[in-house]
Structure 1
Amino acid sequence: MTMSNYQELLKQREELEAKIREARETELKDAIAQVRALVAQFDLTADDVFSSGKRSSKSSGAKVAPKYRNPATGETWTGRGKAPKWIADKDRDQFLIA
């Protein structure tokens, strides 16, 4: 490949990148117009369109009643998460709260 071919290819690339930018801008304007029309037609809010998909449950963050009690200290544990040392590797039935 000679230098002139290389220069020609670089020029073609620049021209092609310019055409790509122009096409994107035109299509982007059309897409924004369509989105705005749909938002207006259905009276949508940003939350409607861009919701995170996460739904909070009513029990989210709610306290859970303790299920186990350490008879020596009165310390309790719900049975969720990592077990405390006083109940780890032991029969948990003996620590159940009635």
Structure 2
Amino acid sequence: MLDLDLDAMDLGDLKKLQAKVSNAIKTYEDRQRKTALAELEAKAAEMGFSLADLTGQPGRKSKVNPPKYRNPEDGTQTWSGRGRQPAWIKDALAKGESLDQFLIVK
């Protein structure tokens, strides 16, 4: 173990040492986590499973927002109300129509 005289160090050196120690701890924990995960994935694969199968986690899939608005002229065109407005919504709003008239559930 290092034998440092912390009392003899000035504040700047102590803060630099603290930052280095914090970084070293984080990288050590990351390496340990990756090693453990690799071992668990290998063991699961050895038994014919994926780690997601065993933990019940479906993996990282984005959440799909259900449609909130529907085009009355073409029922296949829907919009969740998030993100960019589709052209049919923009056109209707430009004509002065209300967004409420396109609600699926009123």
Q: If the length of structure 1 is used for normalisation, what is the TM-score?
A: 0.41
Structure whose alpha-carbon radius of gyration is higher = 1
